[in-house]
């Protein structure tokens, strides 16, 4: 085996070796019964082509304030040690607190809006927008005013009654 061989290449070669040995070995002397190998081999092959789990993503790195540039735009700002909620914005905003030392990228916008798994469609909900106390529009988690203010791609309809 080459030192450059990846774990996937190694697994593929092990599968080939087992296949070859089972073909050339009497079933009574095989390390694994042929019927067991017929069940195990597809699982091993599936593992070769599986995408890594989402948890395999690198950890989120908090960058120092000096690394922020104006073209970076609004980000999530942190004060360490973390003893208060994060602040979202940019240092050139008029309400910039000024004491946050690190930032992380702003999370992606949701693709759709709708009910959470805990919400029942027949319950009256209030708008989830900050400081809004209006009732949420039917099938939404936002009042009609905030829903209408969303970018068009986020206002898609669905058969489950999500969005409007």
Per-residue pLDDT for the chain (164 aa), expressed as one digit of tens each?
A: 455 667 778 888 888 888 888 888 777 677 778 888 888 888 777 777 776 666 666 778 999 999 999 998 899 999 998 889 999 999 999 999 999 999 999 887 777 766 555 555 555 677 777 677 788 777 677 788 877 777 666 665 443 444 44
Residues 40 and 76 in one domain: no
Q: 16: domain range? A: 7-52
Domains: count for the chain: 3
143 falls within a domain: yes
Residue in the block written with tokens 């409007």: 164
58 falls within a domain: no
21 falls within a domain: yes
- The H-or-E segment that residue 102 falls in is strand 102-104
1 falls within a domain: no
Choose among 142, 139, 144, 143: nearest CA to 163. Answer: 139
Residues 100 and 116 in one domain: no
Residue in the block written with tokens 């030192």: 3
Residues 43 and 18 in one domain: yes
The answer, as to whether pTM is greater than 0.75, is: no
């Amino acid at each position: 085996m080459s030192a450059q061989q990846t774990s996937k290449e190694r697994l593929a070669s092990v599968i080939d070796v087992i296949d070859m040995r089972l073909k050339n070995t009497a079933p009574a002397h095989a390390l694994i019964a042929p019927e067991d190998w017929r069940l195990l081999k597809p699982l091993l092959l599936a593992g070769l082509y599986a995408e890594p789990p989402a948890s395999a993503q690198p950890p989120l790195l908090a960058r120092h304030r000096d690394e922020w540039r104006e073209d970076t735009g609004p980000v999530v700002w942190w004060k360490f040690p973390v003893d208060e909620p994060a602040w979202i914005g940019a240092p050139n905003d008029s309400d910039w607190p000024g004491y946050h030392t690190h930032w992380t990228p702003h999370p992606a916008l949701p693709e759709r809006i709708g009910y959470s798994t805990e919400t029942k469609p027949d319950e009256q909900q209030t708008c989830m927008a900050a400081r809004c106390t209006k009732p949420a529009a039917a099938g939404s988690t936002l009042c009609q005013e905030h829903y209408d203010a969303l970018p068009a791609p986020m206002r898609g309809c669905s058969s489950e009654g999500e969005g409007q």
